[in-house]
Amino acid sequence: MTHPTSSGSAAPHSTTPDDAEFGISRGLTNYGDKGFSLFLRKAFIKGAGYTDSALERPVIGIANTGSAYNPCHGNAPQLIEAVKRGIMLAGGLPMDFPTISVHESFSQPTSMYLRNLMSMDTEEMIRAQPMDAVVLIGGCDKTVPAQLMGAASAGIPAIQLVTGSMLTGSHRSERVGACTDCRRYWGKFRADEIDAEEIGAVNNQLVASVGTCSVMGTASTMACIAEALGIMVPGGASAPAVTADRIRIAEETGTLAVQMAKTGMTIDKVLTAKAFENAMRVLLAIGGSTNGIVHLTAIAGRLGFEVDLKALDRMSRETPVLVDLKPSGQHYMEDFHKAGGMASLLRELKPLLHLDALTVTGRTLGEELERAGPGFAQDVVRPFSNPIYPQGGIAVLQGNLAPGGAIIKQSAAAPALMEHEGRAVVFENAEDMAQRIDAPDLDVTADDILVLKNIGPTGAPGMPEAGYLPIPMKLARAGVKDMVRISDGRMSGTAAGTIVLHVTPEAAIGGPLAHVRNGDRIRLSVAGRELSLLISDEELAARAAASPVTRPSAERGYRKLFLQTVTQADQGVDFDFLRAATVRQTIPGAK
């Protein structure tokens, strides 16, 4: 590659074709005269005080997702400064730019509805602006997958930096952290086990600092997955947001971004089929969020990889949960970091991993594990001989109720309910559930199965995390802690319970779930990987013919685009036109 020479003045007429693909000369605005395009660009950027010497360096973009609406990204300004320092120490020119920022609890109707929009924003800003590599700063649940989806489509060198987890708080000497403990205490409040004064006191302690949830929710899951994919600085998944470790990781991320730009390590060289298989192993071994498989499927789809859910389930049978974090275990992310983070887990998983997968450092995963040194005594990452759960955290179910598949987080479910047959108590949509779930006259018992329809990708829209149906008030007050619950929606990774999710096809497009009626019998067998509505095929077909479903639509805007093009859970809930045009490979592949 030919770089511009330092001449002390702009000389756009002397640039070569190679120059147009480097640094500030990359991707010139089309004015019909490339020389003038570069001349004008330099004139404007010099208005910010840049010299020709600075403009000769590799340009590293920094996607800034800081927002007052996103406390999970509250440390973004400090991270950006550290990334800039790393870039400049390595001889690059840092350029931060804003994109959409999505926070889980500040996004209506749901953050998943906006994930694809954020991915498009990220992709188009990478394409539109000159940069030789990009640092992606994300954290809260949907931001990391959105960034990796967008960067995968844009195709340039990219490296992920997460904001890091929050610290834990304390309530009456009990350690608490968002958001598994949020749900646990809210359940106590609904059951009248604690009063309004105490729930208010807990509310002040659940989020003790900026950063993402301190348990193995979706944000922590995606951080671990990103490191397993090799798209992150080794050790970058676990450092809490407010620690010096997190700032050092940010600096190293900036330095690596320059190296990647110089060597031309584009994202497709890192996000390979082997990398995705490694990430799937990690998802299972950490007891990760059920959202993780949806996001992995979407990222893989951008690169032409198809995720085989049946093969994932086979992997689950041989990949135990080894990380003792809530909601499957007892610890928090800061404990995982002190226990060695991902290196401690990856050492245990070595026999199941593709150690020759390339990482952003230019070294393989196996080489990085050797550099990490030997393990040490700790009690957060378990050995294979003493797992938290004997199989992977996620099991894939199929049957006439979910011909396209459904999933359950088996590591966080009640063992007594994992083989269960019960009577369906049906809610047609989220509004119906909200109106009736706490009614004293609701016809429900603890042995029944709660069914919620129309919270899938198109039904809500956006597949909200409403799959964690609350225990009906009268049962909660009677001491019931768990029931089988089934929906076509999602569940927060911080939640626990015997909850079947991602039923595909969804009710809103005519899936069998649409035709479940009150009083129907449903069978769940996690051991048999079965989810069945106990009626005949003929009866199910007759119900579908008698009550045809009209797919939801909208008149304008992003909602119209979303409803017309969003795919089902088994394809990552991405827009169909954003996925790669052809399937290159199915993963996990045959060994």
Q: What is the pLDDT of residues 376-385, one digit of tens each?
A: 999 999 999 9
Supply the range of the domain harboring residue 41.
Answer: 1-6+15-56
Q: Phi first, then psi: give them for residue 115, nearest 5 degrees.
A: -60, -45
Long-range contacts, stretch 36-43, CB < 8 angstroms, 24+ apart: 36/12, 37/12, 38/10, 38/12, 39/10, 39/12, 41/130, 42/10, 42/12, 43/10
- Tell me the pLDDT tens digit for each residue of 514-571: 999 999 999 999 999 999 999 999 999 999 999 999 999 999 999 999 999 999 999 9
Quote the pLDDT of residue 430. Answer: 96
Q: Is the dihedral of CA 542, 545, 547, 549 positive or negative?
A: positive
Rounded Cα gap, residues 340 and 378, in angstroms: 9
Mean pLDDT of 462-484: 95
* Residue range 139-173, pLDDT digits in tens: 999 999 999 999 999 999 999 999 999 999 999 99
Q: What is the pLDDT of residues 267-296, one digit of tens each?
A: 999 999 999 999 999 999 999 999 999 999
User: What single letter denotes the amino acid at residue 208?
Assistant: A
Residue 81 reports pLDDT greater than 90:
yes
**Residue 433 forms part of a structural domain:** yes
Quote the pLDDT of residue 1: 39
Say if residue 8's pLDDT is above 90: no
* Residue 45, in any domain of the structure: yes
Is pLDDT of 17 > 80?
A: no
- 254 domain-assigned: no
Span 460-477, mean pLDDT? 95
Per-residue pLDDT tens digits for 167-225: 999 999 999 999 999 999 999 999 999 999 999 999 999 999 999 999 999 999 999 99
Question: Percent of the chain beyond pLDDT 70?
Answer: 96
Token pair in block for residue 417: 């309910």
> 306 in a domain, yes or no?
no
pLDDT at 494: 87
Which pLDDT score is estimated for 15?
A: 34
Band (pLDDT 50/70/90 cuts) for residue 470 is very high
Q: Is residue 307 part of a domain?
A: no
Query: What was the pLDDT predicted at 10?
Result: 36
Tell me the average pLDDT of the chain.
94
Residue 397: strand, helix, or coil: strand
Q: Which 8-state DSSP code applies to residue 271?
A: S
pLDDT band, very low/low/confident/very high, at 589 (cuts 50, 70, 90): low
Query: Does residue 452 sit within a domain?
Result: yes
Tell me the per-residue pLDDT of 216-258, one tens digit each, with 9 for 90 and over: 999 999 999 999 999 999 999 999 999 999 999 999 999 999 9
pLDDT at 588: 84
Calpha distance 337→327 (Å, rounded):
17
Is residue 400 domain-resident? yes
In a domain, 323, yes or no: no
The DSSP result for 507-531, as a single string, is GGGT-GGGG--TT-EEEEETTTTEE
CATH number of the domain residue 486 falls in: 3.50.30.80
The C-alpha atoms of residue 242 and residue 74 are separated, in whole angstroms, by 10
Residues 460/110, Cβ–Cβ less than 8 Å: yes
Give the residue from 147, 177, 203 where a domain finishes.
203
Bridge partners of 269, per DSSP, are none
Ordered strands of the 133-138 beta sheet: 93-98, 59-64, 133-138, 158-162
Q: Exposure pattern of 427-453 as b/e (b: 16+ CB <10 Å)?
A: bebbeebeebbeeeeeebebebbbbbb
pLDDT bin (cut points 50, 70, 90) of residue 261 is very high
In 3D space, the residue among 528, 456, 470 whose CA is nearest the CA of residue 499 turns out to be 470
CB atoms within 10 A of CB 49: 7
Helix axes 218-229, 273-285, angle to 10 degrees: 140
pLDDT, residue 581, reads 93
Helix axes 143-154, 218-229, angle to 10 degrees: 30
Question: What is the mean predicted confidence (pLDDT) over 349-365?
Answer: 98
Is the pLDDT assigned to residue 18 strictly greater than 90?
A: no
Confidence at residue 6, expressed as pLDDT on a 0 to 100 scale: 34
Please, which residues bridge with residue 402 across strands?
Answer: 399
Which tens digit of pLDDT belongs to each residue from 381-422?
Answer: 999 999 999 999 999 999 999 999 999 999 999 999 999 999
Give the model's confidence band at 5: pLDDT under 50 very low, under 70 low, under 90 confident, else very high. very low
Report the distance separating Cα 566 and Cα 583, nearest Å. Answer: 18
Number of domains in the chain: 3
552 neighbors 538 (Cβ within 8 angstroms): no
Residues 402 and 535 in one domain: yes
